[in-house]
Structure 1
Amino acid sequence: MKLAKGFGYLLQGAKLLAHPDLRIFVLLPLLVNIIMFAIGLGLLIFFVGGWMDDVVGWLPQWMSGITNLLWFLFAIFFGMAVFFSFNILANFIAAPLNGLLSEKVQQHLTGEDLGQTNFGALLASIPRSVGRELIKLTYYLPRVLLLLIFSFIPIANIIVPWLWLFFAAWMMAIQYVDYPMDNNGTSFRKMKKAVSNERFLHLGFGAGVSILLMVPAVNFFAMPIAVAGATALYVNEHKALQQAQNDLPIIHQ
């Protein structure tokens, strides 16, 4: 099943991080992720609890019987919103480091050296990495705003947590599969098309990342695990196909 296969790549990513050749490339992205998620968790605890009490208090009397269910759904929604937002910010800050980690994972899996691991190449990759993250933001933000608008529409906002779960899984797939794609010269547009062509595979992977983001303490390790898992997914599912397409003869008309 495609969903289970996609989730399996996340488990493969966790195993890859334990390899001695990769550990040093995990440390800095991991440190960035720990700092950002510690801030996000603090904000979630400080602000959201009281705000959700107010939201539940606005509900009509006839909905009082499902208060606990709504509390649970709102907790999922706001938890995903906070952790998803801080994950994006952490990836923005750590983008060059994530790209380097992805490159080293690919080298470990294939034996190919992309030639980008020296310090000068890392510095030179920063503008490209930041630019790529900005492109992702232009893709994410309109969809996030649409979900936020739905969350304030009575009745319709009940389904928002479920929409958010689907959206988060999709965004996590886009976010992390893009690192190996970018390292291998694939444009953002072509990357989205490749992900869409195997939608359920990538939704399974993205759902796994979303689950990691919601587990306390484990979510600190979500980013490097996802980078490694997405790189394994790229190597096994995309790399050979892209090479075959690049090798096709050009037909002149």
Structure 2
Amino acid sequence: MPPTAGNKRLTRDEGVATFGAEVRELRKARQMTLANLAEASGVSISHLSAIERGTVNPTLGKITRIAEALGVPEEWFFSFRPGSGALERRYVVRSGHRRNLNLLYGETVEEAGYSDALLSSSIGGGFHMGLSDYPPYSEAVMDELYSREGEQHGFVLEGELVLRLEDEEITVRAGDSFSFPGEVLHSTRNKSAHPARLIWANSPVIIPKYAVLDKTESTPEQAARTKKSGT
């Protein structure tokens, strides 16, 4: 966890480099330049660049401002990962230490209709993978269709889900998988009386992950004409 005193600095160890890498990955996923982040956080471009390279030990005040500018709580950068070595702590995610993606997307479980956990060790690289848990009858929470850049992949671990692609509704059950271009209008809901669990992977990593379509559109064709870009 970050230090509690306003002028106290992180211990100069792997945590400093890890924090810098996490800032860089999230900034890129948010499609922000260093100049964008500097303007939003009030931290200079040169200082941000040094933080991302792991050569500067940031104060708690700067950590707070950077986290606010990137739209995440400070704990996003300091999730505890157990392990006996630096590479294990960096690249292995134990089942009890997954990060909460609902925080990253700025939505509650109630708003989304499911809880989302990050399975990947980071959101850097060409794709990221997550685990979604859908409570029974979660289709009543939201009724939007989504689009995004890149590709969507999923594997149903438990239960059954209704996958909507454009104007088609497809029931997928445990053991089923799917892949489709992110530009296809889509949503996934649990309309059953039992919980469901889905492993998914998205490429590329873009946060927010979706553009929400206007609910007032009456047909998929109308929605497709007015859908927002995934950026």
- The TM-score normalised by the length of structure 2 is 0.29
Structure having the higher strand fraction is 2
Structure ranking higher on relative contact order (CA contacts 8 Å, 6+ apart): 1
Structure having the higher helix fraction is 1
- The TM-score normalised by the length of structure 1 is 0.27
